[in-house]
């Protein structure tokens, strides 16, 4: 049977993977050649962004200078994008997942499966939920996850990197590998959705720490220490809440590699450095520096703090707790090395 892929999201990362998926589906017989991409409609230079993408084949706002394949079709209507899809690729900020799933419920084919490229967790009064679980529970379909050391612009420029797909059903993992894998974007698949997903969410908190270290000009040894302590706390948290998370997952691209690249580049590091050098709040810097993108590290730090404080566990996670307090309680940034 022919699989049909739809992309939910078209920001910087969404557009970079659209380029890969658009090319890959045309190489295989078992995929429909058209890939619809849902675009939250906005005006750019007086024109609809969808019209610009469909005529210029470029997302001039979120991924300028990169040509998208002509079989990627921008669509402003979420239902129309997804109604005939058998493979959904979620690549939106995590705060939009609930409303998207509500709109899609009962409107997609029964044999549909999903993959989440979203780095975040959903916190509620009872604790927290993984994004893949939100998708599975609300739509009644299986969901994989993709996460790795994948700064979007570098992927779009075809600079070599790796990524990790976590699956529960191996056939799903292999199908999604088909649409993502290229010689410059190397995919490894592992049977550990939870481990891959938690790495992707938690490393953004550690990246705030990396940026604070840069702003304080503390040097490479200090940053390496923050990365090591961060990886240790990521693993400890994952194992504490999900006993079957695999140790090997932390050595995949989604684990140590993503942590390193996010602490070296990426928006969380950049904004945290500016927080130290300018003294401005994270909210103000997000608006000034990110061109409408969301800063994931601060909100995830807040989510983590809420989980840990409810369970009286903050003392067991000194790095994540200190980063939260610097972001939200005006703790001086130098405390990043004093309080851990």
Could you give the CA distance from residue 6 to residue 155 in angstroms, rounded to a whole number? 20
Return all residues near 36 (Cβ < 8 A) that are at least 6 apart: 6, 7, 73, 75, 80, 81, 82, 85
Question: Is residue 335 part of an annotated ligand binding site?
Answer: no
Is 14 marked as binding a ligand?
A: yes
Is 215 known as a binding-site position? no
Residue of 249, 240, 233, 250 lying closest to 301 (CA atoms): 233
* 287 known member of a binding site: no
What is the distance, to the nearest Å, from the Cα of residue 71 to the centroid of all Cα atoms in its chain?
Answer: 24
Active site residue 43: no
The answer to whether 267 is a known ligand-binding residue is: yes
Residue 330 among known ligand-binding residues: no
* CB-based contact 51:41 (threshold 8 Å): no
* Contact between 61 and 49 (Cβ < 8 Å): yes
Whether residue 296 is annotated as binding a ligand: the answer is yes
Query: What interhelical angle do 267-278 and 193-215 show, nearest 10?
Result: 30
Residue 96 among known ligand-binding residues: yes
User: Is 230 annotated to bind ligand?
Assistant: no
> Which value, to the nearest 10 degrees, does the dihedral of the CA atoms of residues 75, 179, 56, 159 take?
140
How many Å apart are CA 92 and CA 118, to the nearest integer? Answer: 6
Burial class of residue 181 in the structure, from the number of CB atoms within 10 Å of its CB (0-12 exposed, 13-18 middle, 19+ buried):
middle
Asked if residue 119 belongs to a known ligand binding site, the reply is: yes
* Annotated catalytic residue within 19, 61, 203, 223: 203
User: CA 53 from chain center: how many Å?
Assistant: 23
The answer on whether 219 is annotated among ligand-binding residues is: no
Residue 193's nearest CA partner among 227, 242, 229 is 242
Q: Is 11 annotated to bind ligand?
A: yes
Residues 6+ apart with CB under 8 A from 208: 268, 269, 272, 297, 298, 301, 323, 326, 327
- Does 239 carry a binding-site annotation? no
CB contact set of 78 (below 8 Å; sequence gap of 6+): 8, 38, 100, 103, 104
User: Is 38 annotated in some ligand binding site?
Assistant: no
**Placement of tokens 């970079």 in the chain:** 16
**What does the DSSP 8-state code read for residue 191?**
S
Q: Annotated active-site positions, please?
A: 203
The annotated binding site for NAD(+) is made up of 9-14, 40, 96, 152, 267, 294, 296
The annotated binding site for substrate is made up of 119, 267-268
């Amino acid at each position: 049977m022919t699989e049909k892929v739809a992309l939910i999201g078209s920001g910087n990362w969404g557009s970079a993977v659209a380029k890969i998926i658009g090319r890959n589906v045309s190489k295989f017989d078992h995929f429909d050649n058209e890939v619809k991409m849902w675009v939250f409609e906005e005006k750019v230079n007086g024109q609809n962004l969808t019209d610009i993408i469909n005529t210029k084949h470029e997302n001039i706002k979120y991924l300028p200078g990169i040509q998208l394949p002509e079989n990627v079709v921008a669509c402003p209507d979420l239902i129309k994008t997804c109604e005939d899809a058998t493979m959904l690729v979620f690549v939106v900020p995590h705060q939009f997942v609930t409303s998207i799933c509500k709109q899609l419920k009962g409107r997609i084919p029964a044999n549909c499966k999903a993959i989440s490229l979203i780095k975040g967790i959903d916190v509620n009064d009872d604790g927290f939920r993984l994004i893949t679980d939100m998708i599975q529970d609300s739509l009644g379909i299986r969901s994989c996850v993709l996460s790795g050391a994948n700064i979007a612009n570098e992927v779009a420029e075809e600079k070599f990197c790796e990524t990790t797909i976590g699956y529960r059903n191996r056939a799903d993992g292999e199908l999604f590998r088909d649409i993502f894998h290229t010689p410059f974007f190397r995919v490894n698949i592992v049977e550990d959705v939870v481990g891959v997903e938690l790495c992707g969410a938690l490393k953004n908190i550690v990246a705030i720490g990396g940026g604070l270290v840069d702003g304080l000009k503390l040097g490479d040894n200090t940053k390496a220490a923050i990365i090591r302590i961060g990886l240790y706390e990521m693993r400890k948290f994952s194992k504490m809440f999900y006993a079957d998370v695999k140790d090997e997952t932390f050595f995949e691209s989604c684990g140590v590699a993503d942590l390193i690249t996010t602490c070296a580049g990426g928006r969380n590091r950049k904004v945290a450095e500016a927080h130290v050098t300018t003294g401005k709040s994270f909210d103000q810097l997000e608006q000034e520096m990110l061109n409408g993108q969301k800063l994931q590290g601060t909100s995830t730090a807040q989510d983590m703090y809420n989980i840990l404080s409810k369970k009286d566990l903050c003392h067991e996670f000194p790095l994540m707790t200190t980063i939260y307090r610097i972001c939200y309680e005006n703790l001086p940034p130098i405390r990043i090395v004093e309080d851990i």
